[in-house]
Amino acid sequence: MRTFKKLEIKGEKEDLVNFLKEIKSKVYDNFTYMSDKSDDYAMMISLPKEYTATFLSNEIERAIAYVWLVISDNLLYVANITPNKSGQLTYNQYNSIISKFCEEVVKSDTIKDISINLSKEDFTIEDFAGADTALKLKNWINSANLSTLNTNHYDFKRWCDFIFTSHLTKSQLTSSQFEKFLIEDVKLYDEDLVSKIVQEYEYSLDILKEYDKHRGF
């Protein structure tokens, strides 16, 4: 599954403020610090000016975009990247811009005791759900009649195996990740069907969580 990359810089808040101040002061080949935009952004989200930064990119992958950065607690991160005109960035455009920004801007200034993490672009269902839950999910998908969902006894049993494993292992698979997996990897393009499967997933886990509360777990 393809995702938008995330860029996070961790450290003490004072170090992050100094780091942000440094990168604002420099000149780059492909990025320009936009002081007015950054100040407006800080005001909009009710933060001090030194906790935000906005950069405008040159054309990268046929897109020009604003890169919005925020400090929250001990984390400096790219909150969003938006095109300078209306519309949306593609995965390729967004990820190319954030990768170049990381390489050209963030890594241009090294401060001790901060760590830089740029997430990868492609994830598997195992990355999100965990190996055990992903295996049970694939067992259900590979055998189920997805048009009728769980009307078959064996389909229902495999679905339950997936749900129980997700619950017992405290899988981190979110509804949006599950939906993305069904569309992109399983190639389910029926929106109503995908929505129904995801809703059943949410409902089933909610029931198990309430059961645990009732039992005092």
Q: What's the token pair of residue 146?
A: 């997805």
Q: What is the pLDDT of residues 184-197, one digit of tens each?
A: 999 998 999 999 99
**pLDDT band per the 50, 70, 90 thresholds, residue 127:** very high
Give me the pLDDT at residue 113, please.
Answer: 79
217, pLDDT greater than 70: no
Q: What CA–CA distance (Å, rounded) separates 82 from 67?
A: 7
**CA torsion through residues 56, 33, 45, 176, sign:** positive
Residue with tokens 């645990």: 212
**H/E stretch holding 54:** strand 52-57
Kindly state the average pLDDT of the residues 124-153.
Answer: 88
Domain ranges of the chain: 7-118, 125-215
Any idea how long the chain is? 217
**CA torsion through residues 28, 31, 36, 41, sign:** negative
Cβ proximity of 89 and 81 under 8 Å = yes
Give me the pLDDT at residue 110, please.
Answer: 67
Q: What CA–CA distance (Å, rounded) separates 152 from 187?
A: 22
147, pLDDT greater than 80: no
Give me the pLDDT at residue 86, please.
Answer: 78
54, pLDDT greater than 80: yes
pTM of the model: 0.74
111, pLDDT greater than 80: no
Average pLDDT, rounded, for the chain: 93
Q: Pick from 18, 3, 31: which is nearest to 103 by CA? A: 31
3-state secondary structure of 132: helix
